[in-house]
Amino acid sequence: MTKISKHKHRLAGIVAIGCTVLVLGACNMSLPKNTEGGIGFREDRFEEITAMREYRDCRDEALILDEKARQAGSPARYLASARMIEGCEAALGPEAARLALQERMHAYALSIQNYLKGGNVSKARENLANFTAAFSGGDLYYADGASFTDTMALILGEADDAALGEFSTVNVSPELKSELRRVRYWQRN
């Protein structure tokens, strides 16, 4: 072999190796950095869906119990419904904690009302505090525009009614304001 032929052969080998490195490098560049991203996302989403399905099944059972309590006027059933809703929320877990916030707020608000209707005022107060903490100060509104948290705070004695200026600064129904003013009047006179 001549010297030029050896040089061409070497050059062809170097070019072939260089092309191979470039092709393999390009292949690696086209792969996603996290090959588990798609699968991991799907698994996480499946867990969220499963957790919400279980939550809704549990909540639906609690709503049936609430309806039976309303029909019978049974404080014990109100308490059972409230405990069940509370358990549904506790079983939800972190994988779905940010899902269906309005739906969960409605259910948890019902648990507060049911504890009150069942006669467990201290548990209603505790759940009202949990409600405001868990839902970042979120609120629900009754059909007349009254605030759920303001109304419950007044009813449960959590708001300082002396500082409320005859209840004008609180977003509660006019009927509740009137009733609280009447109670306040008779307590003083």
Q: How far is residue 182's CA from residue 167's CA, in Å, rounded to a whole number?
A: 12
Query: 34-38, 61-65, 146-150, 152-156: which has the minimum mean pLDDT?
Result: 34-38
Q: How far is residue 96's CA from residue 93's CA, in Å, rounded to a whole number?
A: 6
CA distance from start to end of the chain? 122
pLDDT, tens digit, 9 for 90 and up, residues 85-120: 999 988 887 766 778 888 999 999 999 999 999 999
State both tokens at 127: 């759940």
**What's the average model confidence in pLDDT over 115-137?**
91
Whether residue 61 is predicted with pLDDT greater than 80 in this model: the reply is yes
State both tokens at 107: 């259910």
> Letter for the amino acid at 32?
P
Q: Which residue has the higher pLDDT, 12 or 86?
A: 86
State both tokens at 23: 């092709």
Q: Mapping DSSP to helix (H, G, I), strand (E, B) and coil, where does residue 83 land?
A: helix
> Letter for the amino acid at 140?
L
**What's the average model confidence in pLDDT over 52-78?**
93
Alpha-helical runs (H) found in 31-166: 37-72, 75-92, 101-118, 121-134, 148-155
Instruction: Write the CA distances from 115 to 118, 165, 177, 184, integer angstroms.
Output: 5, 28, 22, 24
Helices 75-92/121-134 angle, 10° precision: 30
Which residues does residue 147 pair with via DSSP β-bridges, in sequence order? 141
**What's the average model confidence in pLDDT over 21-46?**
57
Q: Closest Cα partner for 111 from 58, 54, 177?
A: 58
pLDDT band of 38, cuts 50, 70, 90: low
**DSSP character string of 148-178:** HHHHHHHHTT-S-GGGGTTTTTS---HHHHH
Q: Are 148 and 125 a contacting pair, CB within 8 Å? A: no
Q: pTM for the whole thing?
A: 0.67
Average confidence score pLDDT of the chain: 78
Q: Which residue has the higher pLDDT, 91 or 8?
A: 91
State both tokens at 2: 């001549």
pLDDT band of 23, cuts 50, 70, 90: low
Whether residue 169 is predicted with pLDDT greater than 70 in this model: the reply is no
Whether residue 18 is predicted with pLDDT greater than 60 in this model: the reply is no
